[in-house]
Amino acid sequence: MGSMPPRKTFAEFFAGIGLVHLGLADSGWGCVYANDIDAKKQQMYADHFGDARYYHREDVWRTDAVIERLDERPFLATASFPCTDLSLAGYGRGFGGPQSSSYFGFIEVLRQLGDERPRLVMLENVVGFLTARGGGDFRRAVQTLASLGYRIDAFILDARWFVPQSRPRLFVFGFHESLDHGVILKEDADRWRQAIDRTAPLRPATLAAHYDTLRLDTGWATVDLPTPAPNERSLNDVIDLDDAQDWWDEPTTRKHEAMMEPRHRARVETMMAGGAPAAGAAFRRTRRGKPRLEVRFDLAGCLRTPRGGSARQIVLGIGRGRLRMRWMSAREYARLQGADDFAIRVSPSQAMHGFGDAVCVPAIRWIDRHVLSPIHDHEAAAHARPVLHR
């Protein structure tokens, strides 16, 4: 008989409200451990997933406490570590900042797990992770992960391929060296370069440059990926345009309309003459010392936590001779993250903080379908095959 196949289990670090969990659950992944330090996000997680006793609210740097709660070795570990110091708002501190550097708390957990560390690792963060401090933070992150025995892959996936939200995110993968089969293509094989070249839309020049200049203990690897199909959902599919919404009064709407660029105002006027109402989304910005309302009609901008008016998105309802505006709702935040039916039992501000810090669920499902589940299933099948003795 073959050896016992690995269970399809995962541990999620920096779990937040659980949208990685939501993206993995449909294909049978079982969460055996979730970690975060934020009590409000834990509350939202429990509101949706129930009494998740595996959720451990703890500082990831308290490694002994974390490992004590890991009852079994998961096949996969995910880590959406804080982006604060890697984003434009983080003043370029990168891993020199107090929040994003918690990545190394996660690395320390992996290190101390030794032979019991997960076979697969998936990291997720803002695209600024690639360029923070001249790319040094990215190099340090992947070199450290490789030193633990993981071959490295990375690509950028934008939520706009799945939902009407512009949200590019960098995903980094660690394939443990013990995973030695044809699903994983190593960089010393011709098929690796061909697979990389085929997915150029997912790998911009800033990322591709690392393949030729960054030497890893284990080397680069990948799986053969397709390019995502274009998204068919529009803003009209996720924005509520009925009269029951909390639309602003006329003076507030006109004040914001006056902040629009002339080309946006012209577009709105054309749309107002149309029939059925259509949706737009906007942010307030200061440009050349003046307040501006930057409007999009195809996609919402990248969701953010609602810290101040400039971070909150504004909804436009346009058509039938009217222009209406209001703040985007928590339920619309959920839809733009592909979590349409997520349980929301907290205040709108708390909910928007949770969703603004989270991942796009359909993007995780796409990654699972093309990367995570194929690797697990191939490994499980290999262990299930009988061992032939001579």
pLDDT tens per residue across span 131-171:
888 888 899 999 999 999 999 999 999 999 999 999 999 99
Q: Which CATH superfamily is domain 9-230+355-384 in?
A: Vaccinia Virus protein VP39 (3.40.50.150)
Q: How far apart are CA 12 and CA 292, in angstroms?
A: 39
pLDDT-derived band of residue 386, with 50, 70 and 90 as boundaries? low
Give 345's contacts (C-beta < 8 A, 6+ positions apart).
Answer: 44, 47
C-beta of residue 202 within 8 angstroms of C-beta of residue 127:
no
Tally of CA atoms within 13 A in the half-sphere of 351 that contains its CB: 19
Residue 94 has pLDDT above 50, yes or no: yes
Q: How far apart are CA 306 and CA 349, in angstroms?
A: 7
Give 110's contacts (C-beta < 8 A, 6+ positions apart).
Answer: 77, 117, 118, 121, 145, 148
Q: How far apart are CA 264 and CA 282, in angstroms?
A: 11
Give the pLDDT score at 4: 74
Q: How far apart are CA 64 and CA 62, in angstroms?
A: 6
pLDDT tens for each residue of 264-289 = 999 999 999 877 889 999 999 888 88
pLDDT tens for each residue of 33-62 = 999 999 999 999 999 999 899 999 999 999
Of residues 386 and 312, more confidence is placed in 312
Mean of the per-residue pLDDT values of the chain = 90
Token pair recorded at residue 210: 């690392």
Q: How far apart are CA 379 and CA 279, in angstroms?
A: 46
Residue 1 has pLDDT above 50, yes or no: no
Strand stretches in the chain, DSSP E: 9-13, 30-36, 55-57, 76-79, 120-126, 150-158, 168-176, 185-186, 221-222, 278-287, 290-296, 314-319, 322-327
Token pair recorded at residue 336: 């733009």
Backbone phi, psi, residue 131, to 5°: -115, -5
C-beta of residue 99 within 8 angstroms of C-beta of residue 105:
no
Strand stretches in 258-332, DSSP E: 278-287, 290-296, 314-319, 322-327
pLDDT tens for each residue of 326-377 = 999 999 999 999 999 999 999 999 999 999 999 999 999 999 999 999 999 9
Q: How far apart are CA 297 and CA 275, in angstroms?
A: 16
Give the max Cα distance, the chain: 86
C-beta of residue 277 within 8 angstroms of C-beta of residue 241:
yes
Residue 92 has pLDDT above 80, yes or no: no
> Domain spans of the chain?
9-230+355-384, 241-328
Q: If we measure between CA atoms, which residue out of 327, 313, 325, 316 comes closest to residue 356?
A: 313
Q: The tokens 């346009």 sit on which residue?
A: 318
Q: If we measure between CA atoms, which residue out of 322, 330, 280, 325 comes closest to residue 301?
A: 280
Give 245's contacts (C-beta < 8 A, 6+ positions apart).
Answer: 315, 317, 326, 329
C-beta of residue 298 within 8 angstroms of C-beta of residue 311:
no
